[in-house]
Homo-oligomer: A and B are copies of this chain.
Amino acid sequence: MSELRHDPVQKRWVIIALGRSKRPKDFADIEVTSRKGTLASCPFCTGNEDKTPPEIFALRPDNSKPNTPGWKMRIIPNKFPALRVEGNLNRRGLGIYDLMDGIGAHEVIIETPEHCAHLGEMDIMDVFDIVKAYRDRIADLHQDKRLRYVQIFKNYGDIAGASLAHPHSQLIATPITPRTVATELDSAKEHYREKERCLFCDIINQELALHKRIVFTTEKFIALCPFASRFPFEIWLLPRYHFHDYSKTCDEDLMAFGEALKNILHRLRVALNDPPYNFIIHTSPNTSYRPGRPFYWETLPYDWHWHLEIIPRLTKVAGFEWGSGFYINPTPPETAAEFLRMVDS
Protein backbone atom coordinates (compact mmCIF):
# COMPACT_ATOMS: atom_id res chain seq x y z
CA MET A 1 0.00 0.00 0.00
CA SER A 2 1.31 3.44 -0.90
CA GLU A 3 0.98 6.48 1.32
CA LEU A 4 0.14 10.03 0.41
CA ARG A 5 2.25 12.30 2.58
CA HIS A 6 1.92 16.04 2.98
CA ASP A 7 4.99 18.24 3.06
CA PRO A 8 4.25 20.93 5.67
CA VAL A 9 6.86 23.26 4.15
CA GLN A 10 5.96 23.09 0.47
CA LYS A 11 2.31 22.21 1.23
CA ARG A 12 2.56 19.53 -1.38
CA TRP A 13 1.36 15.91 -1.34
CA VAL A 14 3.79 13.18 -2.34
CA ILE A 15 3.06 9.53 -3.13
CA ILE A 16 5.44 7.28 -1.21
CA ALA A 17 5.16 3.90 -2.91
CA LEU A 18 5.79 1.59 0.03
CA GLY A 19 4.90 -1.57 -1.90
CA ARG A 20 7.71 -1.41 -4.42
CA SER A 21 10.28 0.25 -2.24
CA LYS A 22 13.51 0.73 -4.08
CA ARG A 23 16.76 -0.02 -2.34
CA PRO A 24 20.07 1.39 -3.50
CA LYS A 25 21.00 -1.65 -5.60
CA ASP A 26 17.86 -1.12 -7.68
CA PHE A 27 19.33 2.07 -9.03
CA ALA A 28 22.57 0.38 -10.09
CA ASP A 29 21.59 -0.59 -13.61
CA ILE A 30 18.95 1.67 -14.98
CA GLU A 31 16.92 -0.08 -17.63
CA VAL A 32 17.43 1.40 -21.07
CA THR A 33 14.43 1.27 -23.34
CA SER A 34 14.38 1.53 -27.06
CA ARG A 35 11.82 2.34 -29.69
CA LYS A 36 12.97 -0.76 -31.54
CA GLY A 37 12.01 -3.41 -28.96
CA THR A 38 11.00 -6.78 -30.34
CA LEU A 39 7.39 -7.82 -30.39
CA ALA A 40 8.01 -11.01 -28.40
CA SER A 41 9.43 -9.18 -25.40
CA CYS A 42 6.90 -6.31 -25.35
CA PRO A 43 3.98 -6.83 -22.94
CA PHE A 44 1.89 -4.30 -24.89
CA CYS A 45 2.19 -6.14 -28.23
CA THR A 46 -0.46 -8.47 -29.66
CA GLY A 47 -0.04 -12.02 -28.39
CA ASN A 48 1.30 -10.94 -25.01
CA GLU A 49 -2.06 -10.05 -23.44
CA ASP A 50 -1.33 -12.47 -20.58
CA LYS A 51 1.69 -10.37 -19.59
CA THR A 52 -0.53 -7.47 -18.47
CA PRO A 53 -3.27 -7.29 -15.82
CA PRO A 54 -6.76 -8.06 -17.26
CA GLU A 55 -8.10 -5.29 -19.49
CA ILE A 56 -10.54 -2.64 -18.20
CA PHE A 57 -11.66 -1.73 -21.71
CA ALA A 58 -10.72 -2.69 -25.24
CA LEU A 59 -11.73 -1.89 -28.80
CA ARG A 60 -12.02 -5.34 -30.36
CA PRO A 61 -14.34 -7.23 -32.78
CA ASP A 62 -17.64 -8.26 -31.19
CA ASN A 63 -16.83 -11.96 -31.20
CA SER A 64 -13.33 -11.62 -29.74
CA LYS A 65 -12.66 -12.54 -26.11
CA PRO A 66 -11.11 -10.13 -23.59
CA ASN A 67 -7.34 -10.40 -23.14
CA THR A 68 -6.78 -12.15 -26.46
CA PRO A 69 -5.35 -10.81 -29.75
CA GLY A 70 -7.49 -8.88 -32.24
CA TRP A 71 -7.84 -5.59 -30.32
CA LYS A 72 -7.25 -2.09 -31.71
CA MET A 73 -6.77 -0.38 -28.34
CA ARG A 74 -6.59 -1.72 -24.77
CA ILE A 75 -6.84 -0.11 -21.36
CA ILE A 76 -5.29 -2.02 -18.46
CA PRO A 77 -4.42 -1.29 -14.83
CA ASN A 78 -0.76 -0.39 -14.40
CA LYS A 79 1.13 -3.53 -13.36
CA PHE A 80 3.03 -1.53 -10.73
CA PRO A 81 0.39 1.01 -9.70
CA ALA A 82 1.34 4.08 -7.69
CA LEU A 83 -2.22 4.12 -6.28
CA ARG A 84 -4.95 1.48 -5.89
CA VAL A 85 -8.74 1.75 -5.90
CA GLU A 86 -9.27 -0.79 -3.08
CA GLY A 87 -9.43 0.37 0.53
CA ASN A 88 -10.13 3.51 2.50
CA LEU A 89 -8.36 6.84 2.49
CA ASN A 90 -7.75 6.63 6.23
CA ARG A 91 -6.80 10.32 6.53
CA ARG A 92 -4.70 10.92 9.65
CA GLY A 93 -2.12 13.09 11.36
CA LEU A 94 1.26 12.04 12.67
CA GLY A 95 2.60 14.76 14.96
CA ILE A 96 3.31 17.74 12.71
CA TYR A 97 2.66 15.69 9.55
CA ASP A 98 -0.43 14.60 7.62
CA LEU A 99 -0.92 11.49 5.55
CA MET A 100 -3.49 9.14 4.00
CA ASP A 101 -3.44 5.78 2.25
CA GLY A 102 -2.60 5.64 -1.43
CA ILE A 103 -6.11 5.35 -2.86
CA GLY A 104 -6.61 6.16 -6.53
CA ALA A 105 -6.30 4.58 -9.95
CA HIS A 106 -3.38 4.07 -12.29
CA GLU A 107 -4.21 2.83 -15.79
CA VAL A 108 -2.38 2.41 -19.08
CA ILE A 109 -3.96 3.18 -22.45
CA ILE A 110 -2.24 0.99 -25.06
CA GLU A 111 -2.92 3.17 -28.06
CA THR A 112 -2.39 0.64 -30.82
CA PRO A 113 -1.17 -2.93 -31.33
CA GLU A 114 1.59 -1.54 -33.58
CA HIS A 115 4.83 -1.34 -31.66
CA CYS A 116 6.43 1.36 -33.79
CA ALA A 117 3.43 3.64 -34.40
CA HIS A 118 3.51 7.36 -33.58
CA LEU A 119 0.44 9.26 -32.41
CA GLY A 120 1.28 12.10 -34.82
CA GLU A 121 1.28 9.77 -37.84
CA MET A 122 -1.64 7.44 -37.08
CA ASP A 123 -4.91 7.34 -38.97
CA ILE A 124 -7.14 10.12 -37.66
CA MET A 125 -9.91 7.65 -36.77
CA ASP A 126 -7.46 5.76 -34.51
CA VAL A 127 -6.46 9.01 -32.80
CA PHE A 128 -10.16 9.77 -32.38
CA ASP A 129 -10.64 6.42 -30.61
CA ILE A 130 -7.82 7.25 -28.19
CA VAL A 131 -9.04 10.73 -27.24
CA LYS A 132 -12.57 9.33 -26.83
CA ALA A 133 -11.18 6.62 -24.51
CA TYR A 134 -9.53 9.35 -22.40
CA ARG A 135 -12.91 11.03 -22.04
CA ASP A 136 -14.78 7.87 -21.16
CA ARG A 137 -12.25 6.74 -18.53
CA ILE A 138 -12.31 10.16 -16.83
CA ALA A 139 -16.13 10.15 -16.84
CA ASP A 140 -16.19 6.64 -15.37
CA LEU A 141 -13.71 7.45 -12.58
CA HIS A 142 -15.58 10.67 -11.77
CA GLN A 143 -18.32 8.44 -10.38
CA ASP A 144 -16.01 7.59 -7.47
CA LYS A 145 -16.43 10.48 -5.04
CA ARG A 146 -13.12 9.74 -3.30
CA LEU A 147 -11.26 10.65 -6.48
CA ARG A 148 -10.87 14.39 -6.89
CA TYR A 149 -8.87 14.59 -10.08
CA VAL A 150 -8.12 12.38 -13.07
CA GLN A 151 -4.94 13.17 -14.93
CA ILE A 152 -4.27 11.92 -18.45
CA PHE A 153 -0.67 12.08 -19.60
CA LYS A 154 1.77 10.59 -22.04
CA ASN A 155 5.50 9.98 -21.66
CA TYR A 156 7.14 9.55 -25.06
CA GLY A 157 10.76 8.40 -25.22
CA ASP A 158 13.18 7.20 -22.60
CA ILE A 159 14.26 10.69 -21.48
CA ALA A 160 10.62 11.66 -20.96
CA GLY A 161 10.17 8.75 -18.56
CA ALA A 162 8.58 6.11 -20.81
CA SER A 163 9.62 2.73 -19.42
CA LEU A 164 8.25 0.89 -22.46
CA ALA A 165 8.61 1.94 -26.08
CA HIS A 166 5.20 0.67 -27.26
CA PRO A 167 2.82 3.63 -27.85
CA HIS A 168 0.82 4.22 -24.67
CA SER A 169 -0.54 6.95 -22.46
CA GLN A 170 -1.47 6.81 -18.79
CA LEU A 171 -4.12 7.89 -16.34
CA ILE A 172 -3.66 8.57 -12.63
CA ALA A 173 -6.66 9.44 -10.47
CA THR A 174 -5.81 11.03 -7.11
CA PRO A 175 -7.81 11.74 -3.93
CA ILE A 176 -6.64 15.38 -4.03
CA THR A 177 -6.49 17.97 -6.80
CA PRO A 178 -2.78 18.17 -7.71
CA ARG A 179 -1.09 21.44 -6.87
CA THR A 180 -0.22 22.50 -10.41
CA VAL A 181 -3.84 22.15 -11.46
CA ALA A 182 -5.07 23.80 -8.24
CA THR A 183 -2.84 26.82 -8.94
CA GLU A 184 -4.30 27.15 -12.43
CA LEU A 185 -7.85 26.75 -11.14
CA ASP A 186 -7.21 29.48 -8.57
CA SER A 187 -5.70 31.90 -11.10
CA ALA A 188 -8.60 31.36 -13.47
CA LYS A 189 -11.12 31.82 -10.66
CA GLU A 190 -9.47 35.03 -9.47
CA HIS A 191 -9.42 36.39 -13.04
CA TYR A 192 -13.07 35.55 -13.50
CA ARG A 193 -14.10 37.07 -10.17
CA GLU A 194 -12.41 40.33 -11.13
CA LYS A 195 -13.40 40.54 -14.79
CA GLU A 196 -16.17 38.03 -15.47
CA ARG A 197 -14.05 36.70 -18.29
CA CYS A 198 -12.19 33.41 -18.71
CA LEU A 199 -8.40 33.77 -18.31
CA PHE A 200 -7.72 31.27 -21.08
CA CYS A 201 -10.17 32.94 -23.47
CA ASP A 202 -8.34 36.21 -22.78
CA ILE A 203 -4.99 34.56 -23.54
CA ILE A 204 -6.36 33.09 -26.78
CA ASN A 205 -7.71 36.49 -27.84
CA GLN A 206 -4.45 38.26 -27.10
CA GLU A 207 -2.44 35.62 -28.97
CA LEU A 208 -4.80 35.85 -31.96
CA ALA A 209 -4.33 39.63 -32.00
CA LEU A 210 -0.49 39.47 -31.73
CA HIS A 211 -0.03 36.39 -33.93
CA LYS A 212 3.58 35.82 -32.79
CA ARG A 213 3.31 32.61 -30.81
CA ILE A 214 0.57 30.73 -32.66
CA VAL A 215 1.56 27.49 -34.38
CA PHE A 216 -1.79 26.90 -36.07
CA THR A 217 -5.50 27.40 -35.63
CA THR A 218 -8.34 25.23 -36.78
CA GLU A 219 -12.02 26.03 -36.61
CA LYS A 220 -12.22 24.75 -33.03
CA PHE A 221 -8.64 24.55 -31.69
CA ILE A 222 -5.54 26.68 -31.30
CA ALA A 223 -1.93 25.53 -30.78
CA LEU A 224 0.46 28.11 -29.35
CA CYS A 225 3.79 28.44 -27.57
CA PRO A 226 2.91 30.17 -24.28
CA PHE A 227 4.31 33.63 -23.49
CA ALA A 228 6.23 32.43 -20.42
CA SER A 229 7.24 28.99 -21.76
CA ARG A 230 9.38 27.17 -19.22
CA PHE A 231 10.89 24.84 -21.81
CA PRO A 232 11.97 25.16 -25.47
CA PHE A 233 9.05 24.33 -27.76
CA GLU A 234 6.52 24.10 -24.93
CA ILE A 235 3.04 24.03 -26.50
CA TRP A 236 -0.52 24.52 -25.32
CA LEU A 237 -3.42 23.12 -27.31
CA LEU A 238 -6.71 24.75 -26.34
CA PRO A 239 -10.29 24.65 -27.58
CA ARG A 240 -11.11 28.09 -29.05
CA TYR A 241 -14.61 27.79 -27.64
CA HIS A 242 -15.00 28.12 -23.89
CA PHE A 243 -15.48 24.78 -22.14
CA HIS A 244 -14.27 23.42 -18.81
CA ASP A 245 -14.65 19.65 -18.78
CA TYR A 246 -12.85 17.26 -21.11
CA SER A 247 -14.97 14.38 -19.80
CA LYS A 248 -18.14 16.08 -21.08
CA THR A 249 -16.81 16.96 -24.54
CA CYS A 250 -18.96 15.71 -27.42
CA ASP A 251 -17.71 13.40 -30.18
CA GLU A 252 -17.65 16.16 -32.77
CA ASP A 253 -15.38 18.37 -30.66
CA LEU A 254 -13.17 15.41 -29.75
CA MET A 255 -12.73 14.64 -33.45
CA ALA A 256 -11.51 18.22 -33.91
CA PHE A 257 -9.23 17.77 -30.89
CA GLY A 258 -7.81 14.52 -32.28
CA GLU A 259 -7.01 16.26 -35.58
CA ALA A 260 -5.28 19.14 -33.80
CA LEU A 261 -3.34 16.76 -31.53
CA LYS A 262 -2.14 14.69 -34.49
CA ASN A 263 -1.17 17.90 -36.29
CA ILE A 264 0.94 19.31 -33.45
CA LEU A 265 2.65 15.98 -32.64
CA HIS A 266 3.51 15.56 -36.31
CA ARG A 267 5.05 19.05 -36.43
CA LEU A 268 7.05 18.39 -33.28
CA ARG A 269 8.41 15.13 -34.67
CA VAL A 270 9.46 16.70 -37.97
CA ALA A 271 10.85 19.98 -36.57
CA LEU A 272 12.89 18.40 -33.76
CA ASN A 273 13.78 14.97 -35.13
CA ASP A 274 11.32 12.91 -33.06
CA PRO A 275 12.07 14.39 -29.64
CA PRO A 276 11.06 12.88 -26.29
CA TYR A 277 8.06 14.68 -24.84
CA ASN A 278 5.36 14.63 -22.18
CA PHE A 279 1.81 15.76 -22.67
CA ILE A 280 -0.78 16.37 -19.99
CA ILE A 281 -4.48 17.19 -20.13
CA HIS A 282 -5.61 19.81 -17.62
CA THR A 283 -9.34 19.37 -17.17
CA SER A 284 -12.01 19.99 -14.54
CA PRO A 285 -11.67 18.31 -11.15
CA ASN A 286 -14.29 15.73 -10.24
CA THR A 287 -17.35 17.66 -9.16
CA SER A 288 -19.23 14.63 -7.84
CA TYR A 289 -17.68 15.47 -4.46
CA ARG A 290 -19.27 18.68 -3.24
CA PRO A 291 -19.54 19.07 0.56
CA GLY A 292 -18.01 22.29 1.75
CA ARG A 293 -16.96 23.58 -1.65
CA PRO A 294 -20.14 24.19 -3.66
CA PHE A 295 -19.23 27.74 -4.68
CA TYR A 296 -15.86 26.60 -5.90
CA TRP A 297 -17.34 23.95 -8.17
CA GLU A 298 -20.33 26.00 -9.27
CA THR A 299 -18.25 28.59 -11.09
CA LEU A 300 -16.08 26.02 -12.88
CA PRO A 301 -18.14 26.06 -16.10
CA TYR A 302 -17.53 29.82 -16.31
CA ASP A 303 -13.92 30.23 -15.18
CA TRP A 304 -12.14 27.03 -16.21
CA HIS A 305 -11.03 26.08 -19.73
CA TRP A 306 -9.60 22.61 -20.34
CA HIS A 307 -6.42 22.31 -22.40
CA LEU A 308 -3.47 20.08 -23.23
CA GLU A 309 0.15 20.98 -22.44
CA ILE A 310 3.09 19.50 -24.35
CA ILE A 311 6.63 19.61 -22.96
CA PRO A 312 9.39 18.45 -25.32
CA ARG A 313 12.30 17.21 -23.20
CA LEU A 314 15.21 18.94 -24.90
CA THR A 315 17.02 20.53 -21.98
CA LYS A 316 18.03 19.22 -18.56
CA VAL A 317 16.34 20.44 -15.42
CA ALA A 318 19.08 21.28 -12.92
CA GLY A 319 19.58 22.57 -9.38
CA PHE A 320 18.45 26.10 -10.06
CA GLU A 321 15.07 24.96 -11.35
CA TRP A 322 14.51 22.39 -8.57
CA GLY A 323 15.50 24.83 -5.91
CA SER A 324 13.61 27.85 -7.13
CA GLY A 325 10.69 26.74 -9.29
CA PHE A 326 12.17 29.28 -11.69
CA TYR A 327 13.03 28.18 -15.24
CA ILE A 328 15.60 29.33 -17.78
CA ASN A 329 14.39 28.80 -21.32
CA PRO A 330 16.99 29.28 -24.06
CA THR A 331 14.42 29.31 -26.89
CA PRO A 332 11.92 32.20 -27.01
CA PRO A 333 8.40 30.92 -27.73
CA GLU A 334 8.24 33.24 -30.77
CA THR A 335 11.19 31.35 -32.32
CA ALA A 336 9.69 27.98 -31.43
CA ALA A 337 6.29 28.86 -32.92
CA GLU A 338 7.93 30.10 -36.11
CA PHE A 339 9.76 26.81 -36.58
CA LEU A 340 6.69 24.72 -35.89
CA ARG A 341 4.65 26.85 -38.34
CA MET A 342 7.11 26.04 -41.14
CA VAL A 343 6.49 22.27 -40.95
CA ASP A 344 4.09 20.93 -43.58
CA SER A 345 1.12 19.44 -41.81
Which residues of A87-116 are within 8 A (CB) of B?
Answer: 95-97
Contacts of A97 in B (CB 8 A): 206, 227-228
A61 within 8 A of B: no
CB A204 to nearest CB in B, in angstroms, measures 10
Residue of chain B at shortest CB distance from A97: B227
Residues of B within 8 A of A291 (CB): none
**From residue 51 to 86 of chain A, which have CB atoms closer than 8 A to chain B?**
82
Q: Is A332 on the interface with B (CB-CB < 8 A)?
A: yes
The answer to whether A15 and B178 touch (CB under 8 A), given A96-B203, A228-B7, is: no
Give chain B nearest CB distance to A23 CB in angstroms. Answer: 7
A41 an interface residue at 8 Å Cβ cutoff?
A: no
Asked whether A271 lies within 8 Å of B24 as measured between CB atoms, the reply is: yes
Contact between B327 and A15, CB atoms less than 8 A apart: yes
Chain B residues within an 8 Å CB radius of A170? 319-320
Contact B324 A15, beta carbon cutoff 8 Å: no
> Do B229 and A16 have beta carbons less than 8 Å apart?
yes
**Cβ A318 vs Cβ B7 within 8 A:** no
* CB-based nearest B residue for A18: B332
In the complex, A263 has a CB within 8 A of chain B: no
Of A126-134, A182-190, A243-251, the stretch lying at the interface with chain B is A182-190
- Min CB gap A132→B, angstroms: 20
Per-residue contact bits, chain A 20-42, to B (CB 8 Å; 1 contact, 0 not): 11111001100000000000000
How many copies of this protein are present in the complex? 2
Size range of the chain A interface in the assembly: 35 or more
Query: Is the C-beta of A120 less than 8 angstroms from some C-beta in chain B?
Result: no
**Min CB–CB distance A342 → chain B (angstroms):** 10
Interface residues of A in 268-326 (CB under 8 A from B): 271-273, 275, 278-282, 309, 311, 314, 316-320, 322-326
Chain B residues lying within 8 Å of A281, measured Cβ to Cβ, are: 323
* A226 sits at the interface (CB 8 A): yes
Most buried by B among A200, A311, A330: A330
A96-B203, A178-B323 known, 18 other contacts, Cβ within 8 Å? A7-B226, A7-B227, A7-B228, A12-B327, A13-B326, A17-B330, A22-B232, A28-B273, A151-B323, A155-B319, A162-B318, A170-B319, A178-B324, A178-B325, A179-B324, A181-B324, A278-B322, A280-B323
